[in-house]
Amino acid sequence: MNNYKKNILKHRLTLAITAGVALSMGSSAMAAENGKFRIGVVTFLSGPAAGPFGEPSANAAKVLVEGLNQGKLPAPYNTIGINGAEIEVVIIDEAGGAAKQVEEFRNLVQRQKVDAVVGYISSGDCLAVAPVAEELGAMTVFYDCGTSQLFNEDKTPQFVFRTGLDAAVDNIGAARYLTKTRPDAQKVAGIQQNYAFGQDSWKDFTHSMEQLMPKAKVVESQMPKVFQGQYGAEISALSVKRPDIIHSSFWGGDMEALVLQANARGLLEDATAVLTCGESALDRYKDQAPNGMVIGGRGPFGAFAPDNELNRWFKDKYQTAYNTAPTYPASKMAQAILGLKHAAENAKVEQGKIPAPQEIAKAFKGATFESVSGTVQMARAGGHQAMQGISYGEYQFDKASKTGSVQNVIAFSGECVTPPDGTPALEWIKAGFPGAQCN
């Protein structure tokens, strides 16, 4: 048995044993007749994104599903399962690229007969899966991918929802944080993964900076391929320009490799790194990252999540199960599952019955629900895109306790960093954020 299959088997067995969730690869008849609400969960279980992103996400799904099936979550989620039906999960590895994920998605819907799919970290995978979800009429909740291309005027969704935030929010928020903490920065550089998420992130950030900090000029942009791993040439190119700010939307193993390599070569001694996805490695940076590095969690997630009853429950159960605090990918998975439960239970079907995708979608559209991250409003993309605020802060490592934390946190409301519904993000940014409501 190769490592890929071993990894998948390990995660499936862990999910079944740890969370008390039945994983079945059986017939569609079994799925249709067992009376359970089946969720396909798709996240990276192998490859460089697995450790920092996929595993925390899968672990969050285990914690949430176990708690929901026992009816042990705080209100308003203190009812058993989803609409009284026990939740059953099929977990799939997101590794392998967009074509493979489309095939896996069709298998989940047509053979595994799942009632909903929750997943996807890669923006490329989301863009590939979304039209297939609409074609199949499959209830689909994207929990993490951030591309601004997901919803636009040419793509009016019915079954696709995103409970995570558009990446434009990440970059508008990053620029606003710099205006408050680094207003005198003169030279800005960037390094992004060369695909939709990275390209969009750089455009949104640089145009936001033009509006908010016009004296700061872009001096360098690097676009290496996804999962390249080694960034010596790019770091050298950035170092030559001596930037004050280095923006990066790198995520997963790429982000951690960049920080390690850039810090070791002295790039981050004078330049401040701004990592829109930086919170995901909060417990792993240690002293290999500089104090003062600006990090985000793609919203009010992970270390930036509020101190509410749901989040206290989630953090306690996650910490007990995995001996570490949940980072932002875990919070986002929890949010997606809670949003799905909220919609399914507001679909106005008989208790214990599983609502059809059309019924769930109708209830999900424009919904407002509570989460580990606070209140979520499905207030954009015609009610299919979540709107929330975003926070940024600075990494600090305590040598005595050997732990990292986030200091100097500033939160920006959703109304401050989110375009009006129907307005493309880049168009709103270039116009100077008309209507933005910022403190």
Once rounded to an integer, what is the mean pLDDT over residues 22-46? 67
Q: pLDDT band at residue 155, thresholds of 50, 70 and 90?
A: low
Cis amide linkage into residue 76, ω under 30° from 0: yes
* The predicted structure's pLDDT at residue 31: 39
- Over residues 402-412, mean pLDDT: 95
CATH 3.40.50.2300 residue window(s) in the chain:
3-165+305-387, 168-301+389-430
So what's the pLDDT on residue 33? 52
Look at residue 159 in the predicted model and tell me its pLDDT.
98
Residue type, 281: A
Return the CATH fold of 3-165+305-387.
Answer: Rossmann fold (3.40.50)
Region 344-351: mean pLDDT is 89
For 255-309, write each residue's pLDDT tens digit.
Answer: 999 999 999 999 999 899 999 999 999 999 999 999 999 999 999 999 999 999 9
Average pLDDT estimate for 368-391: 97
**pLDDT for the residue 9:** 39
Q: Give 325's Cβ-side CA count (13 Å radius).
A: 18
What confidence score (pLDDT) does residue 252 get?
A: 86
Question: What is the residue type of 172?
Answer: I
pLDDT above 70: residue 109: yes
pLDDT in tens, 114-125: 999 999 999 899
- Indicate whether 8 pLDDT > 90: no
Q: Are strands 294-296 and 187-191 parallel, antiparallel or unpaired?
A: unpaired
Could you tell me the two tokens for 16? Answer: 């079944």
Q: 316-325 long-range CB contacts below 8 Å, 24 or more apart? A: 317/63, 317/67, 318/59, 318/60, 318/63, 321/18, 321/59, 321/62, 321/63, 322/59, 324/283, 325/282, 325/283
With cut-offs at 50, 70 and 90, classify the pLDDT of residue 154: low
Distance CA 111, CA 202 (A): 39
Res 349: pLDDT: 84
Position 44 pLDDT exceeds 50: yes
3-state SS class at 316: helix
Query: Can you count the helices (H) and strands (E) in the chain?
Result: 14, 15
Contacts of 86 (CB under 8 A, 6+ apart): 35, 36, 37, 69, 80
What percent of the chain stands above pLDDT 70?
92
Span 10-22, pLDDT tens digits: 443 334 333 333 3
pLDDT greater than 50 at residue 27: no
Place of tokens 């850039």: 262
pLDDT of residue 365: 98
As a CATH number, domain 168-301+389-430 is 3.40.50.2300
Q: Report pLDDT for 7.
A: 39
Residue 91's SS3 state is strand
Question: Which pLDDT score is estimated for 153?
Answer: 65
